[in-house]
Amino acid sequence: MLSTFTSIAGVAMMLAAGHAAAAEYEIVNKPDLAFAVHDGVKLLGDLYLPKGKTKAPVLVAVHGGGWQIGTRQFYRYWGLFFARAGYAVFAVEYRLGKDGTYPRAVYDTKAAVQFIRAKAAEFDLDPDRIGLIGDSAGAHLAALVALAGDQFTSEYRDDANAAVPTDVKAFVGFYGIYDLYAQWTHDLVGRPGDRIVEKFLGVPPTKNRRIYFDASPISYTTVDHNKLRVMLIHGTHDDVVDPETQSGAFLAALTQAQFFARRIIIPGAGHFWSSEPFEADPHSYAAQAIPRLMRFLESSL
């Protein structure tokens, strides 16, 4: 699998850099790193490192799956790709599946950022060049921690890294959920048998509208947070997460608050493609996103 990926990554890196001379690093993989224990649950992540890179920038990667399913393996292909390009990736898991998972999953994601900053010297990472990346529900968690990690302080105060700052420089979101009330209304039509937001928050907005506001990244798009740089990526044919009421509205709010925010729209792309293996095809969804994504990371981390 790795040899196949190497040739694919070479094509993708040529697209990203615009020439064949882009630096490539060997990959060091450190799997199953325990970054926190919350309520007796050991939280694990896989760290992909560019061998020989000094003080590498790092992306904490948060998988999607409607807050109900998913695994850190969703970021295996991106982890390998980014590590070869000189970026470390810490692909993490968080607690899933139970009604009312919020805000536990937010605290789990926050702990991953704190862990990677606390261990930066050990892994030869740059603690001042940390970003978050996520897809779908993972993009929601990543964006919420990126914008409002300092708002979630009431739980897990005895974590080993509880005092470590959570600020990051950049956020990348694939077809993310940024307004939970808007997604709840979309679920009524698109997922009437599986209202993912209502399950996540544990209550409908008719009983608690405030929690929908507090849990939405769009609520924190204010000028005091606008040092964060943002890249949003989605397709034109996503029927799971509506592009315009989510990424479109989020981009507008970020722009109004004077964030550096950009969007990549992939023609024909739906949902659930970011975790797929890359194809050596410049017209694949990942290949279409890579050139602008890499330029964004180069200027943001």
Domain residues of the chain, as ranges?
2-300
What distance in Å separates the CA atoms of residue 98 and residue 122, rounded to the nearest whole number? 35
Instruction: Supply the CATH classification number for the domain 2-300.
Output: 3.40.50.1820
Each residue's pLDDT, cut to its tens digit, for the chain (301 residues) gives: 343 344 444 545 545 444 334 679 999 999 999 999 999 999 999 999 999 999 999 999 999 999 999 999 999 999 999 999 999 999 999 999 988 899 999 999 999 999 999 999 999 999 999 999 999 999 999 999 999 999 999 999 999 999 999 999 999 999 999 999 999 999 988 777 788 999 999 999 999 999 999 999 999 999 999 999 999 999 999 999 999 999 999 999 999 999 999 999 999 999 999 998 864 677 789 889 999 999 999 999 9
Which tokens go with 36? 């926190």
What distance in Å separates the CA atoms of residue 98 and residue 190, rounded to the nearest whole number? 21
Cβ-based neighbours of 252, under 8 Å, separated by 6 or more? none
Among candidates 1, 145, 137, which has minimal Cα distance to 59?
Answer: 145
For the chain, the distance separating the N- and C-terminal CA atoms, rounded to the nearest angstrom, is 29
